[in-house]
Amino acid sequence: MQLAPFLPLMYRILKPSFPSCLWSGHDRARSIALTFDDGPHPSHTPKLLEVLDRYAIPASFFWLGACVRRSPELAKAIYQRGHWIGNHGYDHRSFPMLTPTELQHSLVATQEAIATACDLPTARVRDVRPPNGLFTPQTLNLLHQWDYRPVMWSVVPEDWVCPGVAVVVQRVMQQVQNGSLIVLHDGACGGTDVADVAALLIPQLLSLGYEFVTIDTLWQQSLSLTNQGFFSSLTSGDRSF
């Protein structure tokens, strides 16, 4: 059964239920984030990079530690291009299936692999997206306890089942809006078409006036909105805290 028809509904339900996660940017900014999971892949990712280079846009990559270990030079090349890097666990096992110790080991091992390949401090790799989008309240509590930032999604075209380039592009275009956080895959599942999808999708989004930003920028926007709401409550006379 394909999940694509149900994912927009799941987003609308889950976003207000788990506000400590990053689900999207704010709807007043014409900015969107294009993200890629499950890489880096030795053949799919270089083709994708050519497309991103062509349009000179930043993207965000959520990597598997095992894939970084296999392709450290490719990982470094992606980072040096200015793309944002996140943690997707070491080997794509669903986080709720792991014990807290196993989960922490998976995240730390991936952090270390990324830091070594890209020559950056491990503390810089704080953004975590759970594989398959699966998490529990306990998962989130552990991520916050360990000083990670959980990142989710707002537009998921289910490209990993390979429905075809045109279908993936159509699904994104039907759902995209200000602040969208789009998830595609450049790994073993879905990666075959990812460069072709990006080559069709990016110019269409640019023609609509969207600006591509990184996950870190969406976090900054989210924090800005939170602060605005806080100060608005002060000026409106709310002294309930």
Is 213's pLDDT higher than 50?
Answer: yes
Residue 201 included in any domain: yes
User: What angle (nearest 5°) sits at the alpha carbon of residue 95, between those of residues 83 and 45?
Assistant: 30
Cα dist. 134→55, 128, 150, 198 in Å? 32, 12, 11, 25
Residue 16 included in any domain: no
Three-class SS state of 192: helix
**Catalytic residue selected from 83, 159, 185, 186:** 185
pLDDT of residue 228: 53
The dihedral built from the CA positions of residue 185, 125, 221 and 9, taken in this order, carries a sign that is: positive
Q: Indicate if 37 belongs to the active site.
A: yes
Is 137's pLDDT higher than 60?
Answer: yes
Q: Could you give the number of structural domains in the chain?
A: 1
Q: By the 8 A CB rule, do 35 and 165 touch?
A: no
Residue 7 included in any domain: no
Cα dist. 190→25, 52, 168, 220 in Å? 25, 17, 10, 30
Q: Indicate if 119 belongs to the active site.
A: no
Q: What is the pLDDT of residues 36-75, one digit of tens each?
A: 999 999 999 999 999 999 999 999 999 999 999 999 999 9
Residue 52 included in any domain: yes
Q: CA–CA separation, 10 vs 77, rounded Å?
A: 35
**Catalytic residue selected from 37, 127, 159, 186:** 37
Range of the domain at 187: 21-235
Higher-pLDDT residue of 190 and 2 is: 190
Residue 5 included in any domain: no
Is 235's pLDDT higher than 50?
Answer: no
- The CATH number covering residue 105 comes to 3.20.20.370
Residue 13 included in any domain: no
Cα dist. 225→25, 70, 147, 230 in Å? 10, 39, 21, 9
Q: Are strands 149-150 and 84-87 parallel, antiparallel or unpaired?
A: unpaired
User: What does the radius of gyration of the chain's CA atoms come to, in whole angstroms?
Assistant: 18
Alpha helices in 56-148 (DSSP H): 65-70, 72-80, 100-118, 137-145
Residue 205 included in any domain: yes
Is 4's pLDDT higher than 90?
Answer: no
- Name the least confident of 26-30, 82-86, 160-164, 221-225: 221-225
Closest CA to 122 of 68, 56, 43: 68
pTM for this model (two decimals): 0.92
- Cα dihedral angle (213, 53, 202, 150), rounded to 10 degrees? -40
